[in-house]
């Protein structure tokens, strides 16, 4: 029996070590210590032993049992730890944030066009001026010779702050401000936001952008205006670009004109893009500064004369880049902005 016990013990040790999960381990416990387990059965046979054998074998049986339980417990702890490690690894969540490399943004295409236009005029000797977006009615209309009944003064066309302040409807009041504070010669441009009571559609927005230009000096004539704008348009849209001056009316210039440019696709031959007219867009308004305006701004029209022009920057930006919808310029959609 002693021999049997020793064999059983080494066999137990081996099987316990080879076990890889709790179920198997439990099966082994039952195999030896269960009601019909091998060790239990041996224990039950103890009664048949002689009085001398009993204490000797009893001791070995108890040792075997203790050893076995000990080994079982140890193995159980090992298996639990191994299982925990596997589980932890599996359930691991990476809470570190993968910080993207610093990305430097860039200007809105509108802003780019504005700066490009300013640069162009700076290179021709113009100074860049600024004026407020909330403007006096006096500067926005009165001093620009705008008759009291003129439709642009209407509440349905202009955002009024009060009876005498508006959101400027064009950049022309900056002409007034510059003339009021500076003696000729004057050569200025000004870019900025302008506002009109328009519904939003693909080509209109109640907030848009203009660039204004003005030259005041002795002997400034319409010829200077036409030449200046021709140089400007060619630099902006390419050497092949032709201009067409159409008579027009503005209260603050006389004579006044609207300027069209030749179609950038067919260069004036006529194509589907320009409705076979050869002319693509009405680019700007211009004219000789009205003597009334000069007078109201403190400049003697018998000594000085000048020209002025104004144009929408949004439209130029759209034509230049083939942008079909003005909303895109204001929506801050990165998918759009990243293309520039």
Interatomic CA distance for residues 256 and 250, integer angstroms = 6
The number of residues making up the chain comes to: 340
How many other CB atoms sit within 10 Å of the CB of residue 149? 7
Q: At a CB cut-off of 8 Å and minimum separation 6, what does 49 contact?
A: 1, 57
Q: How far is the CB of 219 from ligand PHE (least distance, A)?
A: 19
Among 158, 205, 253, 262, binds ligand PHE (CB under 6 A): 253
Among 109, 192, 268, 285, binds ligand PHE (CB under 6 A): 285
Contact 290, 251 (CB under 8 A): yes
Compare residues 116 and 254 and give the one whose CB is closer to ligand PHE. Answer: 254
Q: How many CB atoms lie within 10 A of CB 246?
A: 11
Told to check if 287 binds ligand PHE by CB under 6 A, we report: yes
Nearer to ligand PHE, 190 or 323 (CB): 190
Radius of gyration over every alpha carbon of the chain, rounded to an integer in angstroms: 46
Only segment of 28-36, 96-104, 129-137, 302-310 that touches ligand PHE (CB under 6 A): 302-310
Q: Does 286 bind ligand PHE (CB under 6 A)?
A: yes
Query: Of 298, 289, 301, which Cα lies nearest the Cα of 222?
Result: 289
Site string for ligand PHE, 160-179 (x = CB under 6 A): ----------x-x-------
Tally of CB atoms within 10 A around 65: 18
CA dihedral 6→12→17→20, nearest 10 degrees, is 170
CA–CA dist 122, 129 (Å, integer) = 11
**# binding residues, ligand PHE (CB under 6 A):** 11
**Binding region for ligand PHE (CB under 6 A) out of 45-53, 155-163, 176-184, 282-290:** 282-290
Q: Rule CB under 6 A: is residue 310 a binding residue for ligand PHE?
A: yes
Question: Smallest gap, in angstroms, from Cβ of residue 267 to ligand PHE?
Answer: 26
309 binds ligand PHE (CB under 6 A): yes
> At closest approach, how far in Å is the CB of 250 from ligand PHE?
5
Q: Which is nearer to ligand PHE, 57 or 296 (CB)?
A: 296
Which of 34-42, 62-70, 176-184, 305-313 is the region at the interface with ligand PHE (rule: CB under 6 A)?
305-313
User: Which candidate, 106, 283, 259, places its Cα nearest to that of 210?
Assistant: 283
CB of 232 or CB of 309, closer to ligand PHE: 309
Cβ(195)–Cβ(203) under 8 Å?
no
Q: Determine contact, residues 34/12, Cβ cutoff 8 Å.
A: no
Distance of alpha carbon 153 from alpha carbon 191, whole angstroms:
22
The residue among 64 and 172 lying less far from ligand PHE, judged by its C-beta, is: 172
* Residue 184 lies near ligand PHE (rule: CB under 6 A): no
Binding site for ligand PHE (CB under 6 A): 170, 172, 212, 250, 253, 285-287, 308-310
């Amino acid at each position: 029996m002693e021999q049997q016990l020793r064999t059983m013990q080494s066999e137990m040790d081996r099987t316990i070590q080879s076990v890889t999960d709790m179920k198997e381990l439990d099966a082994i416990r039952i195999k030896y210590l269960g009601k019909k387990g091998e060790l239990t059965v041996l224990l039950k046979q103890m009664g048949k032993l002689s009085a001398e054998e009993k204490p000797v074998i009893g001791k070995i049986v108890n040792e075997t049992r203790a050893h076995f339980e000990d080994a079982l417990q140890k193995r159980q702890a090992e298996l639990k730890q191994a299982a925990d490690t596997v589980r932890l690894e599996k359930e691991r969540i990476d809470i570190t944030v993968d910080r993207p490399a610093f990305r430097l943004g860039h200007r809105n295409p509108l802003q780019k066009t504005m700066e490009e236009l300013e640069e162009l005029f700076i290179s021709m000797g113009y100074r860049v001026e600024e004026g407020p977006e909330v403007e006096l009615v006096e500067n926005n209309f009165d001093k620009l010779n705008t008759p009291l009944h003129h439709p642009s003064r209407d509440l349905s066309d202009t955002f009024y702050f009060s009876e005498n302040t508006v959101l400027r409807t064009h950049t022309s009041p900056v002409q007034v401000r510059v003339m009021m504070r500076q003696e000729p010669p004057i050569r200025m441009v000004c870019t900025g936001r302008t506002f009109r009571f328009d519904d939003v559609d693909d080509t209109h927005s109640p907030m848009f952008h203009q660039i204004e230009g003005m030259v005041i000096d002795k002997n400034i004539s319409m010829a200077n205006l036409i030449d200046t704008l021709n140089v400007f348009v060619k630099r902006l849209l390419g050497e092949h670009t032709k201009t067409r001056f159409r008579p027009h009316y503005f209260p603050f210039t006389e004579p006044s004109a609207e300027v069209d440019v030749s179609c950038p696709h067919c260069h004036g031959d006529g194509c589907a893009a320009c409705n076979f007219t050869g002319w693509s867009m009405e680019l700007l308004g211009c004219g000789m500064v009205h003597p009334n305006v000069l007078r109201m701004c403190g400049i003697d029209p018998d000594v000085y004369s000048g020209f002025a022009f104004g144009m929408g920057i949004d439209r130029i930006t759209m034509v230049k880049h083939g942008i079909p919808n003005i909303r895109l310029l204001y929506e801050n959609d990165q998918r759009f902005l990243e293309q520039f």
